Chains A and B, each alone.
Chain A
Amino acid sequence: MNYFPDEVIEHVFDFVTSHKDRNAISLVCKSWYKIERYSRQKVFIGNCYAINPERLLRRFPCLKSLTLKGKPHFADFNLVPHEWGGFVLPWIEALARSRVGLEELRLKRMVVTDESLELLSRSFVNFKSLVLVSCEGFTTDGLASIAANCRHLRDLDLQENEIDDHRGQWLSCFPDTCTTLVTLNFACLEGETNLVALERLVARSPNLKSLKLNRAVPLDALARLMVCAPQIVDLGVGSYENDPDSESYMKLKAAVKKCTSLRSLSGFLEAAPHCLSAFHPICHNLTSLNLSYAAEIHGSHLIKLIQHCKKLQRLWILDSIGDKGLEVVASTCKELQELRVFPSDLLGGGNTAVTEEGLVAISAGCPKLHSILYFCQQMTNAALVTVAKNCPNFIRFRLCILEPNKPDHVTSQPLDEGFGAIVKACKSLRRLSLSGLLTDQVFLYIGMYANQLEMLSIAFAGDTDKGMLYVLNGCKKMKKLEIRDSPFGDTALLADVSKYETMRSLWMSSCEVTLSGCKKLAQKAPWLNVEIINENDNNRMEENGHEGRQKVDKLYLYRTVVGTRMDAPPFVWIL
């Protein structure tokens, strides 16, 4: 390879797109490092505090697409205080100053302000794609700047963000000349939508493939939109409720029939279940169905819909489907690869309708299943062993038994053996979430067998530090370890400090680690940011030895090449 001119090597590198592979390439030799860095267009940064924008730009000056993740995963469950960090503004400011030709920005769990969006919209002439997932801090005014100023906007994809809806006219801010939209997802907006502006926008966007509407778009508007965009591939229905007068409904049925490219359906935030039959004609083409927000769709209407979806690869559903419903899925959806079953009764009234039986049925009926997220009320070791036998190809296995510490409901044993069977059988397992009653034994199994495991979520599990040690010693590919309410302490934390250099981050909350343990760690590993999120009186986190034995409420540590961050709020103590 060294005898080829750089251009040839670069051309070869163009075919290598995954960031893992490109990272590997850059480590081969100096000249490959150099060629790779100038040709890299897409960069993924899993932790926005691991590096800073200046260094990023120095290494990758030809950057076009940037993905940034901010808050730790447990922030999704309100374990991280609001003001913790993850601000995107400094990044956008730095990118703007450097005049890099940014075209795509993908953010997850970051704080985005209207100011950032405005700056973004004005600084990059070729900006095409904005994807925001679980972000917060902005309003529809920010969206208005994006709409108004990004002349070549292709994707505006807002997934599950907390957006302050000022009910302004952001949709009308797209200029009449804007015809390039491919993705428009505003399902998470809670306010009213200017339907006229929306229809005109969709009508002048011939490339529109993905349209996800919010609650404020009613059924008759939906029908009109679908008529304007028969080429749609991915549709998020907004409000599907009305006193359905037959004309609207007939129009919708006719419009749906014409959408022969439709492959993915979601939404139904308010739904009249009997109107679902309008979609039956295209169900046989669907590969993705997300009804996890459709609380009103269950029972026979849901089953009828699913029975038409023989090509389904991805299904997100509420547990109101029941074990019986999952059996229908198992017998109908033979192509199923990913299943998520969410709890519908968040009051914890014990009315969850899925049990281990549904899980077993799915594992038996769907041989291609590789990703699962399953909320249920009860589980048994026997069921998990069966699932492991049926589906040895799991990449992601997340089981959430709603009641913490719940044992096998038949034998009253811990679920160590069940999860052990899963990790032993699923050699490609990359992500695992545990629940139920678990002892150190399960961690021994994980350490022994889960060789490819990159992310592990632990809650209310384990007996002693040994548990955590098994994992740290055994899982060579571990990247993200998050633990809550488990009895792991300083011994485990400090056993192998160099391990954390190979990981992206470690989260421990309500465990047994003490302040002095964390301080020791910070001393031994200056290349780590060791953050204590202290929600108690700061004064009590004192220097003196006695206080050092005090348990730390929340610990978040991560490797970084740029040292302590400057934007931490007062209750975050960086050691």
Chain B
Amino acid sequence: MSYRLLSVDKEEPGLKERNYLGLSDCSSVDSSTIPNVEKSNLNFKATELRLGLPESQSPERETDFGLLSPRTLDEKLLFPLLPCKDNASATTGHKNVVSGNKRGFADTWDEFSGVKGSVRPGGINMMLSPKVKDVPKSIQDERSHAKGGGLNNAPAAKAQVVGWPPIRSYRKNTMASSTSKNTDEVDGKPGLGALFVKVSMDGAPYLRKVDLRTYTSYQQLSSALEKMFSCFTLGQYGLHGAQGRERMSEIKLKDLLHGSEFVLTYEDKDGDWMLVGDVPWEIFTETCQKLKIMKGSDSIGLAPGAVEKSKNKERV
């Protein structure tokens, strides 16, 4: 479940659908070092839209919730979260996105409004949900100019409201990583964000799921998988009776995999098992149905020299 501004009128020039975070609101499982509340906060705050026109006496009591002020829309679209375009749609760690956004957003704010000292270190939350009502006119004008004014008449999209429906973020995160809705669909509907695929590993007792949309390269995927599955390999090395706070993550899967014991493979739409890494990332995400971390010996049949290839890769 991701909080994007949906169904923006495609005919308007200059309008682009923005993924405010480049993240989908999901996978507390995958990036276990990130406090989930923080992510959820980002998602909600980023797409918060108010009911009612700006500077009106009372919020509109519309039964059709979809009607929102065009100004509101304008406000939102002018403050994309990702500070620089070369980050494409996602970054490696959610934490990076947060801190990156903090700086980027602050820069943007200063650039637009010239208001000094307006950035609070208190967190992204405050900055990302300016209420249209409260923004002085001058700033709004500046923003309109900056965006070429093309957005002012955009029809408001039906957007998510912060904190609604009233469900604990813990529950949302857990459900997001449990739901298997997207795994079997050929194309996740564009804009829905999550693309979960199951990941299994030979010898591991259970499956995991990863959201492919949270990665933009094989490198990122493999580091994430590394973190996720490192414990299984470690188990073989006798962690029994370990006392104290020895951290499993200190011994990296990488070191063991340099011995090419494991290779990463995936099942494509045709049901064939292929080695990961042979096709461009974008195509991979579209065709990958399942991932499997196989023992090197099992993967020999996949492609000639497959095992040799994986030896040379920095990561499987």
Contacts and interface: CB of A to CB of B under 8 A. Distances in A.
B108 to A, nearest CB: 14
B149 interface: no
A190 B41 contact: no
Given A81-B41, A134-B170, A346-B176, A485 B205 contact: no
Contacts of B243: 169, 172-173
B167 A405 contact: no
Interface stretch (A7-15, A43-51, A533-541): A533-541
Contact of A82 (B32, B125, B134, B170): B125
Interface string A250-268: 0000000000000000000
A400 B163 contact: no
B120 A78 contact: no
Contacts of B206: 216, 218-219, 239, 241-242, 270
A402 B126 contact: no
Contacts of A169: 239, 242-246
Interface string A511-524: 01000000000000
B53 interface: no
Nearest to A194: B239
Interface stretch (A159-167, A228-236, A496-504): A159-167
A81 B126 contact: yes
Contacts of A553: 131, 134
Nearest to A405: B63
B179 A405 contact: no
Contacts of A292: 171
A570 B51 contact: no
Given A167-B249, A190-B28, A162 B165 contact: no
Contacts of A371: none
B187 to A, nearest CB: 15
A78 B134 contact: no
Interface residues of B, number: 75
B136 A540 contact: yes
A567 interface: no
Interface in A110-160: 134, 136-137, 141, 144, 160
B7 interface: no
A42 interface: no
A510 interface: yes
B163 A79 contact: yes
Given A536-B134, A538-B120, A78 B41 contact: yes
A296 B61 CA distance: 38
Interface string B152-191: 0000000011111111111110111011100000000000
Contacts of A164: 32-35
A188 B176 CA distance: 14
A168 B242 CA distance: 10
Interface in B46-75: 50-51, 57-59, 61-63, 65
Contacts of B246: 168-169
Contacts of B170: 134, 160-162, 188
Contact of B123 (A83, A191, A192, A347): A83
B63 A570 contact: no
A46 B73 CA distance: 39
Contact of A536 (B131, B164, B240): B131
Interface in B118-144: 118, 120-123, 125-127, 129-131, 133-136
A550 B57 CA distance: 11
A348 interface: yes
Nearest to A271: B178
Task: Give the one of A437, A510, A535 with max B CB within 10 A.
Answer: A535
A407 B35 CA distance: 38
A385 B129 CA distance: 39
B167 A78 contact: no
Interface in B16-49: 28-29, 32-38, 40-41, 44-45
A402 B1 CA distance: 15
A346 B167 contact: yes
B248 interface: yes
Interface in A381-411: 400, 402-407
A295 B245 contact: no
Contacts of A141: 245
A520 to B, nearest CB: 19
A221 B133 contact: no
A219 B207 CA distance: 12
Interface string B94-119: 00000000000000000000010110
Contact of A569 (B59, B118, B122, B172): B122
A196 interface: yes
Contact of A220 (B121, B172, B205, B207): B205
Contacts of B121: 570
B162 A79 contact: yes
B180 to A, nearest CB: 6
B10 interface: no
Given A81-B126, A270-B178, A403-B65, 18 more contacts: A77-B169, A78-B162, A81-B122, A167-B32, A173-B245, A219-B206, A269-B174, A293-B178, A342-B171, A346-B1, A347-B1, A405-B61, A437-B63, A510-B51, A536-B130, A551-B131, A551-B133, A553-B134
Q: Nearest 6 CB-CB pairs, A to B?
A: A77-B163, A535-B126, A218-B205, A218-B206, A192-B231, A160-B170
